[in-house]
C-alpha cells in the first residue's frame, strides 16, 4: 500500500513539473496569442480555410453541409470582390495604358451562324419589305385598329390583363367571346376595318397563350405566354399610362423569321409616336424568348434619364407562323417549332 501511494505521489509531482514547464514555455513564446511580457491578446477570428480536395458533398449531416456550403459561398464572394477591387485599382493606376477589357463569353455571342440573318442593306430584304403584308402600314396607307379578345369564358385575371393591354396599344378594343369561333370572328373584323386580331388564351385561370393575326391576308403567329405580371404586381410601378402613342423598340430580331415577327409587333402601333408622352414599348428578343416591357422616361436632369415601368409585362415564345389568317385545320405553316429537332444545341437560335 505504501508503494502504491509513493508511486502515485511521484506521478503527481511529474505532472505538476510538466505543467509548470509548459506554462513557462508559453510565457516565453509570444507567437501563440501572448506577448513576451505575458499580457494575453484577444483571439483573432480565422477565415474559413478548406483543405485541398475537400468536398462539401462528403458531409453526411444535412444541416452541417448546408452551413459549410453557405460559408464557402461567402468566402468565394469575398475573394471575387477583392480581386475585382484590385483589378480596378490597377486599371486606374495605368490610365490610358490599361489593356482593353476582355469580352465575356456568353451564349449570345457564341451563337451558331445562321444563313437567314438579315442584312439591313440587302436589296432582297428591301424588296420583301415593300411587297409583304405589312407594307401598307409602313407606307402610311392604313392606321392600326386592333381587336383584343379572349378564349371562351375568361377568368378575372385574363380579363384584367386584356384591359391593361388595351391601354398599351392605341386604338385597340376589347370584346369577349361567348362561344364564337375564330373563323366567324375574322370576317366580322375585316368588315369593320380591323387590321389585327389578338386572342389571349388561358389555362387554369392564368393567361398562357397569344394568337396574333394580321388582317385581312395574314400572317398568323401563335405564341406561348408566361411570366404575366399585372400592374398591381409590379414593384415601384408608375402612374397609369396616358393615351399618347408610345415609341416602339425592337431588339435582336436578326433572322428572316425574326424580322417578320418584329414587323408584326411594329404594325400594332401607329407609325408616328408621340414623344411628349415619354412612353416606350419594348420587345426584346433573347435566346428566342421575347420579353415585353412598358416604361416611361423620367428626365432627372439634362444628362440623367431614368425609366419607370408601367406594366403589364409578359414573355412570349414563338410556336408557329402561319400564312394567311387563322386556320388550324387547312392552314399552310411557314415555320413550326419542333423541340426535338430544332433544340439540339443551346447556341442555336431562330429569331
Q: What b-and-e string marks burial along 162-180, b requiring 16 or more CB atoms within 10 Å of the CB?
A: bebbbbbbbebebeebeee
pLDDT at 235: 87
Alpha carbon 193 to its chain centroid, in Å, reads: 37
Beta pairing, strands 220-229 & 247-251: unpaired
Band the pLDDT of 48: cuts 50, 70, 90.
low
pTM of the model: 0.74
- Distance set, CA 243 to CA 73, 169, 172, 257 (Å): 49, 9, 11, 31
pLDDT at 227: 93
Q: Which three cell numbers stand for residue 210?
A: 397569344
Cβ neighbours, 10 Å, residue 278: 18
Q: 55-67: per-residue pLDDT in tens?
A: 888 888 889 999 9
Across 20-88, the runs of DSSP E, i.e. the strands, are none
- The dihedral over CA atoms of 24, 30, 33, 37, expressed in degrees to the nearest 10, equals 70
> What mean pLDDT is predicted for residues 174-181?
85
| Residues β-bridged to residue 146 | 172, 196
Bigger pLDDT: 75 or 33?
Answer: 75
Q: Of 312, 201, 211, which is closest to residue 264 (Cα–Cα)?
A: 211
3-state secondary structure of 296: strand
Q: 293-309: per-residue pLDDT in tens?
A: 999 999 988 888 999 99
pLDDT at 6: 45
Q: 186-227: per-residue pLDDT in tens?
A: 999 999 999 999 999 999 889 999 999 999 888 999 999 999
Q: Which three cell numbers stand for residue 188?
A: 366580322
Q: Residue 141: is its pLDDT beyond 50?
A: yes
pLDDT at 118: 84
Q: Domain residue spans in the chain? A: 117-343
- Residue 314: is it exposed, middle or buried by C-beta count within 10 angstroms (0-12/13-18/19+)? buried
pLDDT at 102: 82
pLDDT at 250: 95
Q: Which three cell numbers stand for residue 337?
A: 417549332
Band the pLDDT of 161: cuts 50, 70, 90.
very high
> What mean pLDDT is predicted for residues 11-16?
60
> What mean pLDDT is predicted for residues 94-115?
85
Indicate the range of 30-44, 99-113, 124-138 predicted with least confidence. Answer: 30-44
Q: 270-292: per-residue pLDDT in tens?
A: 988 999 999 999 999 999 999 99
- The dihedral over CA atoms of 269, 239, 208, 224, expressed in degrees to the nearest 10, equals 40
% of the chain beyond a pLDDT of 70: 85
Integer Cα distance of 241 and 57 in angstroms = 52
Q: What b-and-e string marks burial along 332-344, b requiring 16 or more CB atoms within 10 Å of the CB?
A: eebbebeeeeeee
Alpha carbon 137 to its chain centroid, in Å, reads: 31
Bigger pLDDT: 10 or 22?
Answer: 22
Amino acid at each position: 500500500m505504501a508503494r502504491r501511494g509513493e508511486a502515485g505521489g511521484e506521478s503527481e509531482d511529474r505532472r505538476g513539473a510538466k505543467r509548470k514547464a509548459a506554462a513557462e514555455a508559453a510565457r516565453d513564446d509570444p507567437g501563440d496569442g501572448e506577448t513576451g511580457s505575458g499580457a494575453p491578446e484577444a483571439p483573432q477570428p480565422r477565415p474559413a480555410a478548406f483543405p485541398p480536395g475537400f468536398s462539401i458533398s462528403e458531409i453526411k449531416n444535412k444541416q452541417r453541409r448546408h452551413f459549410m456550403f453557405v460559408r464557402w459561398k461567402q468566402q468565394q464572394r469575398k475573394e471575387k470582390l477583392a480581386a475585382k477591387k484590385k483589378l480596378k485599382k490597377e486599371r486606374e493606376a495605368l490610365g490610358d495604358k490599361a489593356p482593353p477589357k476582355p469580352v465575356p463569353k456568353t451564349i449570345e455571342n457564341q451563337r451558331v451562324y445562321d444563313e437567314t440573318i438579315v442584312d439591313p442593306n440587302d436589296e432582297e430584304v428591301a424588296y420583301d419589305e415593300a411587297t409583304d403584308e405589312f407594307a401598307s402600314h409602313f407606307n402610311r396607307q392604313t392606321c392600326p385598329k386592333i381587336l383584343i379578345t379572349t378564349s371562351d369564358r375568361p377568368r378575372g385575371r385574363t380579363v384584367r390583363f386584356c384591359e391593361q393591354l388595351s391601354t398599351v396599344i392605341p386604338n385597340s378594343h376589347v370584346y369577349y367571346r361567348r362561344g364564337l369561333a375564330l373563323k366567324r370572328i375574322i370576317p366580322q373584323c375585316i368588315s369593320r376595318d380591323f387590321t389585327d386580331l389578338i386572342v389571349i388564351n388561358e389555362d387554369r385561370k392564368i393567361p398562357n397563350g397569344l394568337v396574333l393575326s394580321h388582317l385581312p391576308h395574314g400572317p398568323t403567329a401563335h405564341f406561348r405566354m408566361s411570366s404575366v405580371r399585372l400592374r398591381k404586381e409590379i414593384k415601384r410601378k408608375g402612374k397609369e399610362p396616358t393615351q399618347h402613342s408610345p415609341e416602339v423598340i425592337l431588339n435582336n430580331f436578326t433572322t428572316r423569321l425574326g424580322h417578320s415577327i418584329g414587323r408584326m409587333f411594329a404594325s400594332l402601333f401607329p407609325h408616328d409616336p408621340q414623344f411628349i408622352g415619354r412612353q416606350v414599348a419594348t420587345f426584346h428578343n433573347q435566346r428566342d424568348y421575347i420579353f415585353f416591357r412598358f416604361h416611361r422616361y423620367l428626365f432627372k436632369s439634362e444628362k440623367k434619364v431614368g425609366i419607370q415601368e408601367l406594366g403589364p409585362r409578359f414573355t412570349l415564345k414563338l410556336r408557329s407562323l402561319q400564312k394567311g389568317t387563322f386556320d388550324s385545320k387547312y392552314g399552310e405553316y411557314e415555320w413550326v417549332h419542333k423541340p426535338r429537332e430544332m433544340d439540339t444545341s443551346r447556341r442555336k437560335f431562330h429569331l
